[in-house]
Structure 1
Amino acid sequence: MATAAQTHPMSDAEWQARQQLAACYRIFAHMGWDELIYNHISLRVPGEEQAFLINPFGLHYSEVKASNLVKIDIDGNTLDRSPHPVNRAGFVQHSVFHRHVPDAHCIIHTHTTAGMAVSSTQEGLLATNFYAGFLVGNIAYHDFEGVTVRTEEGARLVANLGDKRFMILRNHGLLVMGQTLPEAFLRYFVFERACEIQLATRQAGTPLIIPDEVLAVHKRDMFSAIPAERFGMLDFAAMVRVIDRIDPSWRD
């Protein structure tokens, strides 16, 4: 049987990117980080700075494959022959970052219970656990303006992001970006875990804030053994093996 790469000619780099992104969608479904047919993970097409891949609107994350991802440009034009539409909210939010943030090659946005709960509190994420200690001070915040379908909100999103690559969309959810997909994946894992543990901490008792001097040491030392260019690679590869054992159809 012919592969999608054979029936719809594309570069080897694009096909590899499609497989990597499809794997990420399946991992998110496996982890319970999906939300019916909503939310998005997008990835720039290698060698095509104005083009990125995103999920086809209407499919569950567990149905995403390398071949059915949609390739669009930052103006919203479909660049392949995909029969699937792209969700307006996903396009508006992701395209503005792909357009204005040069190192935002992969962007992840979710509506998990933990992420939305923390985003809906006045204090946001607190330095009360191992994971949050790494993130506090590295998180941007953007006030809720309603569903993200208006392009004029884009300028405020970019301005509020600044030099951060973790963002809490208040009353909305979590957003991360990375120079590679594995980097964005591990950043998201840390972010989500920090929020989950914060919710559990509030139920368990009075949150214990980590002192500033300990936070400084923690941020310095965390992940110090992992070369920056390999950040997230082993973690992502391990999860790819997990989903491969469950259903390898994401590769198609």
Structure 2
Amino acid sequence: MSPSAIADLLPTTLPITSKTITPAKEHHEHGMQDKTPIAAISHGDVVLPGVPSFTSMELKRQWQLEHMAAAFRHWSREGYVEGISGHISVRDPEAEDVFWTNPLGKHFGLLKASDMIAVNFDGEVVGGNRTRPPNAAGFLIHSAVHKARPDVHAVCHAHTVYGKAWSAFGKPIDMLTQDSCKFYNAHSVYNSYGGVVLASAEGELIAKALGPTNKACILQNHGLITVGNTVDEAAFLFLSLEHACQTQLLVEAASQGGNLSKVLISDEEAEYTYRMESDSETCYAEFQAYYDWEDYHTKGDFKN
């Protein structure tokens, strides 16, 4: 694809024709706004723990790799495996121009912390596992996002069934449910598919489409990409966006007969829900339920 191609946020035509209605306006009380989001969801005196702190870069790096491996194990159980496609990256805590990613060709359900590969922005393998290469398309996408977004520490991308299906329409998701609101004014669409990403210009276009502040991007005819301050946040947002795409497809299918109309959440309620549920610490905490489940069932195998 030519670098001059434009990554529009919306297509010129909308293929979905279901009817949408706006409910009557009612006043709703918005509570807990004086608390942090993670404190707001924690009833009583005990607050759910957020992202931990570390006494050394080595400890933080190992923690990141263990949680990255757990995210892949979770992806395997969710059925996100599509051959050898899909990748997660996490920025090294010490070297800002280095990120860790998964080896090409190893099943997500087998990945361990010791399998991960450290790559710098120039594409050089600078640490970790040297027995397998990283995914070339993965490097081009993730390096572009990490360069463009210094605030992003983790990036997730995979070719999931519902994400791919909804991406074919080239549209953002609607604010149909409380969970969809995690992406209110925080996701975009890259609707200029350029084939398998094997050129740096294509990775840069994807990073451009993601934008300077968004948490996610729907890659038309391709899949989903999510970002976060931790691999846990990015992984949970990926799961939530995949579910939002599934929900959207079900709602669109049900409404095509003409007897049912979609009711969207109002901007006011979507904004409040986004603020309370899409916080980085809260999304990190959301993923810990999956981390603990993997830890229990694998007896911590992914940490090795």
Shorter chain as denominator, the TM-score bin is 0.7 to 0.9
Once residues 292 and 239 of structure 2 are traced to their aligned partners in structure 1, the CA distance between those partners, rounded to angstroms, is 17
Task: Tell me: higher relative CO, structure 1 or 2? Use CA pairs within 8 A at least 6 residues apart.
Answer: 2
Aligned to 1:72, the other structure's residue is in SS state strand
- CA 1:133 to 1:232, structure 2 compared with 1: closer, same or farther past 3 Å? closer
* Map of 1:21 onto structure 2: 68
Aligned to 1:67, the other structure's residue is in SS state helix
Once residues 141 and 227 of structure 1 are traced to their aligned partners in structure 2, the CA distance between those partners, rounded to angstroms, is 19
* Map of 2:269 onto structure 1: 217
Once residues 122 and 151 of structure 1 are traced to their aligned partners in structure 2, the CA distance between those partners, rounded to angstroms, is 23
Aligned to 1:193, the other structure's residue is in SS state helix
Contact 2:251/2:262 (8 A) holds in 1: no
* Map of 1:192 onto structure 2: 242
Q: Which residues of structure 1 form unaligned runs of 5+?
A: 1-9
Amino acid aligned to 1:42: S
Once residues 151 and 201 of structure 2 are traced to their aligned partners in structure 1, the CA distance between those partners, rounded to angstroms, is 22
Contact 2:172/2:187 (8 A) holds in 1: no
- Residues 105-142 of structure 1: CA deviation (Å, up to 9, x unaligned): 10001111100011001434233333334425322221
Q: TM-score with structure 2 length normalisation?
A: 0.73
Q: Which has the higher helix share?
A: 1
Once residues 184 and 288 of structure 2 are traced to their aligned partners in structure 1, the CA distance between those partners, rounded to angstroms, is 27
Once residues 162 and 93 of structure 2 are traced to their aligned partners in structure 1, the CA distance between those partners, rounded to angstroms, is 33
Once residues 118 and 227 of structure 1 are traced to their aligned partners in structure 2, the CA distance between those partners, rounded to angstroms, is 22
Once residues 87 and 211 of structure 1 are traced to their aligned partners in structure 2, the CA distance between those partners, rounded to angstroms, is 39
Q: Which residues of structure 2 form unaligned runs of 5+?
A: 1-56
Once residues 135 and 96 of structure 1 are traced to their aligned partners in structure 2, the CA distance between those partners, rounded to angstroms, is 22
2:84 to 30, 37, 42: 37
Once residues 234 and 170 of structure 2 are traced to their aligned partners in structure 1, the CA distance between those partners, rounded to angstroms, is 26
Once residues 221 and 123 of structure 1 are traced to their aligned partners in structure 2, the CA distance between those partners, rounded to angstroms, is 21
1:105 to 127, 133, 153: 153
Q: Residue 150 in 1 paired to residue 204 in 2?
A: no
- Residues 197-233 of structure 1: CA deviation (Å, up to 9, x unaligned): 1122233334644446x23312213462x69452223
Contact 1:127/1:209 (8 A) holds in 2: no
* Map of 1:84 onto structure 2: 132
Once residues 21 and 122 of structure 1 are traced to their aligned partners in structure 2, the CA distance between those partners, rounded to angstroms, is 29
2:210 to 161, 166, 169: 161
Contact 1:18/1:66 (8 A) holds in 2: yes
Identical counterparts, % of pairs: 27
Q: Residue 61 in 1 paired to residue 103 in 2?
A: no
Aligned residue-pair number? 241
Q: TM-score with structure 1 length normalisation?
A: 0.87
Bigger Rg, which one: 2
Q: Residue 240 in 1 paired to residue 288 in 2?
A: no
Amino acid aligned to 2:59: D
Contact 2:88/2:154 (8 A) holds in 1: yes
Amino acid aligned to 1:56: P
Contact 2:141/2:207 (8 A) holds in 1: no
